[in-house]
Structure 1
Amino acid sequence: MRWTSALAIYVLFWAFSVFFVLPFGVRTSDEAGVARVPGQAESAPHTFALGKVALRVTIVATVLFTLFLLNYVNGWVVAKDLDLFGALAGLE
């Protein structure tokens, strides 16, 4: 795999990890014991720590990408293993 392909795949893992990590550690104004601003949604976070979220996302993406790369190199799970309907049977 070329390094540019690996970088592109890592960026995809990073982007998908954002949606996995964002809901964790969020506290609303009610949970924080602070009055809400008029017009603020009840579910809106009290504060948003971009640095914390970016660090968490980077860790999750790096772990997932490492597993992906190890699978790519070692061939633990290949397309043939995922072929549930026999579509790849004649391609051996």
Structure 2
Amino acid sequence: MKGYIEERAVELANFIVENKATVRAAAKKFGISKSTVHKDVTERLLQINSALAEEAKAVLDKNKAERHIRGGLATKAKYKGSMEGKA
């Protein structure tokens, strides 16, 4: 594995753990795809730093379990804003 990929994987994991960030937020911050973030954190990082990989995976699993809640809140906010002008 190339050195910059290893560094990126560690930086991504640190960002996710420190900020409790989602895959989407990490991808946006680093300017890469969500699939690259996921592959770096779940596969490549295991070979580099397994303890950090476990921490990041815990955050990602928590975010995945809560995503339906965030989606519902986003939809609610969207329609609340569009309905205010019609009331």
Give me the TM-score of the superposition, normalised by structure 2. Answer: 0.35
Q: Which has the higher helix share?
A: 2
